[in-house]
Amino acid sequence: MIIVLGITGSIAAYKAADLASQLVKEGHEVHCVMTRAATEFITPLTLQVISRNPVLLSLEDEKHSWKPGHIELADRAELFLVAPLSADTLANFAHGLAPDPLSSIYLATRAQVLLAPAMNGNMWEHPATQRNVARLQEDGCTFLGPEQSGMLACGYEGPGRLAPVDAIVDAVQTYQSTPPH
Protein backbone atom coordinates (compact mmCIF):
# COMPACT_ATOMS: atom_id res chain seq x y z
CA MET A 1 0.00 0.00 0.00
CA ILE A 2 1.22 3.52 -0.76
CA ILE A 3 1.09 5.56 2.44
CA VAL A 4 1.62 9.28 2.83
CA LEU A 5 2.86 9.67 6.40
CA GLY A 6 2.46 13.19 7.73
CA ILE A 7 4.54 14.28 10.70
CA THR A 8 3.67 17.52 12.51
CA GLY A 9 5.12 19.64 15.31
CA SER A 10 4.65 17.53 18.41
CA ILE A 11 7.25 16.05 20.75
CA ALA A 12 5.81 12.69 19.64
CA ALA A 13 7.31 13.33 16.18
CA TYR A 14 10.33 11.25 17.19
CA LYS A 15 8.03 8.20 17.15
CA ALA A 16 7.51 8.70 13.41
CA ALA A 17 10.88 7.02 12.80
CA ASP A 18 9.69 3.81 14.47
CA LEU A 19 6.32 4.06 12.72
CA ALA A 20 7.87 4.56 9.28
CA SER A 21 10.29 1.70 9.92
CA GLN A 22 7.54 -0.71 10.91
CA LEU A 23 5.39 0.27 7.92
CA VAL A 24 8.30 -0.28 5.52
CA LYS A 25 9.02 -3.66 7.14
CA GLU A 26 5.35 -4.57 6.54
CA GLY A 27 5.94 -3.94 2.83
CA HIS A 28 4.33 -0.53 2.48
CA GLU A 29 5.69 2.26 0.29
CA VAL A 30 5.99 5.19 2.72
CA HIS A 31 6.31 8.83 1.66
CA CYS A 32 6.96 11.20 4.56
CA VAL A 33 5.72 14.78 4.52
CA MET A 34 6.78 17.01 7.40
CA THR A 35 5.64 20.37 8.63
CA ARG A 36 8.42 22.85 9.44
CA ALA A 37 7.56 22.51 13.13
CA ALA A 38 8.15 18.73 12.96
CA THR A 39 11.77 19.33 11.94
CA GLU A 40 12.38 20.74 15.42
CA PHE A 41 11.84 17.23 16.82
CA ILE A 42 13.16 14.85 14.12
CA THR A 43 15.26 15.38 11.01
CA PRO A 44 14.04 14.84 7.46
CA LEU A 45 17.19 12.81 6.77
CA THR A 46 16.22 10.25 9.41
CA LEU A 47 12.83 9.73 7.79
CA GLN A 48 14.30 9.73 4.28
CA VAL A 49 16.73 6.93 5.14
CA ILE A 50 14.07 4.88 6.94
CA SER A 51 11.37 5.33 4.27
CA ARG A 52 13.81 5.12 1.36
CA ASN A 53 12.02 8.07 -0.23
CA PRO A 54 12.63 11.83 -0.30
CA VAL A 55 10.86 13.79 2.42
CA LEU A 56 8.61 16.65 1.34
CA LEU A 57 9.00 19.76 3.52
CA SER A 58 7.96 22.72 1.45
CA LEU A 59 6.40 23.59 -1.85
CA GLU A 60 9.85 24.82 -2.92
CA ASP A 61 11.01 21.16 -2.87
CA GLU A 62 8.75 20.41 -5.83
CA LYS A 63 10.89 21.67 -8.70
CA HIS A 64 11.88 18.24 -10.03
CA SER A 65 8.82 17.47 -12.14
CA TRP A 66 6.17 19.21 -14.19
CA LYS A 67 3.53 17.84 -11.80
CA PRO A 68 3.69 19.32 -8.29
CA GLY A 69 4.93 16.72 -5.82
CA HIS A 70 2.11 17.27 -3.37
CA ILE A 71 -0.47 16.57 -6.08
CA GLU A 72 1.41 13.48 -7.27
CA LEU A 73 1.51 12.14 -3.69
CA ALA A 74 -2.17 12.98 -3.19
CA ASP A 75 -3.05 11.06 -6.37
CA ARG A 76 -0.90 8.02 -5.54
CA ALA A 77 -1.80 7.69 -1.85
CA GLU A 78 -3.89 4.75 -0.77
CA LEU A 79 -3.79 5.91 2.84
CA PHE A 80 -3.15 9.39 4.22
CA LEU A 81 -1.83 8.92 7.77
CA VAL A 82 -0.78 11.75 10.07
CA ALA A 83 1.04 10.70 13.24
CA PRO A 84 1.49 12.78 15.25
CA LEU A 85 -1.20 15.29 14.36
CA SER A 86 -0.79 18.65 16.11
CA ALA A 87 -3.65 20.97 17.03
CA ASP A 88 -2.42 23.45 14.42
CA THR A 89 -2.50 21.02 11.52
CA LEU A 90 -5.78 19.53 12.74
CA ALA A 91 -7.28 23.04 12.54
CA ASN A 92 -5.82 23.61 9.05
CA PHE A 93 -7.44 20.39 7.84
CA ALA A 94 -10.79 21.19 9.46
CA HIS A 95 -10.94 24.65 7.91
CA GLY A 96 -9.59 23.76 4.48
CA LEU A 97 -6.41 25.76 4.87
CA ALA A 98 -3.33 24.73 2.92
CA PRO A 99 -0.27 26.67 4.15
CA ASP A 100 2.09 23.71 3.65
CA PRO A 101 2.47 20.57 1.52
CA LEU A 102 0.89 18.31 4.15
CA SER A 103 -2.33 20.34 4.31
CA SER A 104 -2.33 20.65 0.52
CA ILE A 105 -2.09 16.87 0.16
CA TYR A 106 -4.94 16.45 2.63
CA LEU A 107 -7.15 18.68 0.49
CA ALA A 108 -6.16 16.98 -2.77
CA THR A 109 -6.23 13.32 -1.81
CA ARG A 110 -9.10 10.89 -2.22
CA ALA A 111 -7.33 8.30 -0.06
CA GLN A 112 -8.65 7.12 3.27
CA VAL A 113 -7.53 9.41 6.12
CA LEU A 114 -6.27 8.18 9.48
CA LEU A 115 -5.32 10.83 12.03
CA ALA A 116 -3.39 10.15 15.26
CA PRO A 117 -3.39 13.33 17.39
CA ALA A 118 -0.78 14.14 20.01
CA MET A 119 -0.91 17.34 22.02
CA ASN A 120 -1.27 18.85 25.47
CA GLY A 121 -4.44 17.62 27.20
CA ASN A 122 -5.87 21.12 27.59
CA MET A 123 -5.37 21.71 23.87
CA TRP A 124 -7.05 18.38 23.03
CA GLU A 125 -10.05 19.11 25.28
CA HIS A 126 -10.48 22.72 24.14
CA PRO A 127 -13.89 23.29 22.51
CA ALA A 128 -12.26 24.61 19.33
CA THR A 129 -10.21 21.43 18.93
CA GLN A 130 -13.23 19.25 19.62
CA ARG A 131 -15.25 21.18 17.00
CA ASN A 132 -12.42 20.60 14.52
CA VAL A 133 -12.36 16.88 15.34
CA ALA A 134 -16.12 16.64 14.84
CA ARG A 135 -15.87 18.46 11.50
CA LEU A 136 -13.13 16.11 10.29
CA GLN A 137 -15.11 13.06 11.41
CA GLU A 138 -18.09 14.39 9.42
CA ASP A 139 -15.72 14.68 6.45
CA GLY A 140 -14.90 10.97 6.78
CA CYS A 141 -11.61 11.09 8.68
CA THR A 142 -10.88 8.40 11.25
CA PHE A 143 -9.15 9.26 14.52
CA LEU A 144 -6.90 6.93 16.44
CA GLY A 145 -6.33 8.31 19.91
CA PRO A 146 -5.07 10.24 21.57
CA GLU A 147 -4.50 8.12 24.64
CA GLN A 148 -6.91 9.23 27.37
CA SER A 149 -4.40 9.15 30.21
CA GLY A 150 -0.69 9.21 30.77
CA MET A 151 2.22 11.51 31.48
CA LEU A 152 2.68 14.12 28.77
CA ALA A 153 5.98 15.71 27.75
CA CYS A 154 4.76 19.06 29.13
CA GLY A 155 4.57 17.54 32.61
CA TYR A 156 0.78 17.26 32.69
CA GLU A 157 -0.99 13.99 33.21
CA GLY A 158 -4.12 13.26 31.20
CA PRO A 159 -5.27 12.88 27.61
CA GLY A 160 -3.16 13.79 24.62
CA ARG A 161 -0.47 11.13 24.15
CA LEU A 162 0.02 9.66 20.70
CA ALA A 163 -1.56 6.23 20.27
CA PRO A 164 1.05 3.48 20.57
CA VAL A 165 3.00 2.88 17.35
CA ASP A 166 1.90 -0.78 17.32
CA ALA A 167 -1.76 0.31 17.46
CA ILE A 168 -1.21 2.66 14.53
CA VAL A 169 0.47 -0.12 12.51
CA ASP A 170 -2.44 -2.44 13.36
CA ALA A 171 -4.91 0.23 12.19
CA VAL A 172 -3.02 0.56 8.90
CA GLN A 173 -3.31 -3.20 8.41
CA THR A 174 -7.08 -2.87 8.91
CA TYR A 175 -7.20 -0.14 6.25
CA GLN A 176 -5.26 -2.34 3.86
CA SER A 177 -8.06 -4.89 3.92
CA THR A 178 -10.80 -2.25 3.55
CA PRO A 179 -11.75 -1.00 0.08
CA PRO A 180 -11.26 2.76 -0.46
CA HIS A 181 -14.29 5.07 -0.44
Q: Respond yes or no: is residue 154 known to be catalytic.
A: yes
Catalytic residue among 52, 154, 173, 180: 154
Residues 5, 54: Cα–Cα separation, whole Å: 12
Residues 72, 101: Cα–Cα separation, whole Å: 11
Start-to-end CA distance of the chain, whole Å, equals 15
Pairing outcome for strands 79-85 and 112-117: parallel
Residues 24, 135: Cα–Cα separation, whole Å: 31
Q: Could you list the active site residues?
A: 154
